[in-house]
Amino acid sequence: MSPAPEAIVAAARAWLGTPYRHQAATLGAGCDCVGLLRGVWRSLYGKEPPALPPYRADWRDLRDADAFIGLAEAWLRPVEGPLAVGQIALFRLGRLPLPKHCGILVGNSRFIHAQERLGVTEASLSDNWRRRIAARFTFPDFKDV
């Protein structure tokens, strides 16, 4: 059994207003987009997710560009079909071919993500953001964690 979409949304919304801090994952003190996922994971499963490799703050840096999707593939389960509440979306930024950002879908046209200078916010999943979705995942079943 996987975490309920409502539990995922509640866990993500608890992070709203948390400032942006690269590689951090502390509720209220700071996180980046991956840190937001780490914090939601801890809330859902009661423990840390698997260890993270180091990653760079600059999304324009193409070194280790495939590490981001590799991390998602190691932690999460890929999904296809329609967008759904509770899914994790990986986004391409700029003209990059691979994703470098992530967020959690919290409604038909809303998602929560951590963004530089803004921190954790709930944003509109505009056409511009939708076009940037490179992959989607769900949190794993409780028995698989």
Q: Which two tokens stand for residue 54?
A: 């180091």
Task: Report the alpha-carbon distance of residue 36 to residue 1 in Å, rounded.
Answer: 22
CATH of the domain at 51: 3.90.1720.10
- 79 pLDDT more than 90: yes
What is the per-residue pLDDT across 89-132, written as a single tens digit (0 to 9) for each?
999 988 888 898 999 999 989 999 999 999 999 999 999 999 99
Say how many domains are in the chain: 1
- 65 pLDDT more than 80: no
Q: Taking all residues of the chain, what is their mean pLDDT, rounded to a whole number? A: 92
Quote the pLDDT of residue 46: 97
Quote the pLDDT of residue 91: 95
Query: 100 near 1, Cβ under 8 Å?
Result: no
Task: Please state the rounded mean pLDDT for residues 136-142.
Answer: 97
Quote the pLDDT of residue 61: 62
Q: Which of 17-26, 54-63, 87-96, 110-119 has the lowest mean pLDDT?
A: 54-63
- 39 pLDDT more than 80: yes
Domain that residue 128 falls in: 5-144
Quote the pLDDT of residue 59: 55
- 24 pLDDT more than 70: yes
Quote the pLDDT of residue 60: 56
Torsion 123-25-2-51 (CA) sign: positive
Q: What is this structure's pTM?
A: 0.94
Q: What string of DSSP letters covers 10-45?
A: HHHHTTTTPPB-TT-EETTTEE-HHHHHHHHHHHHH
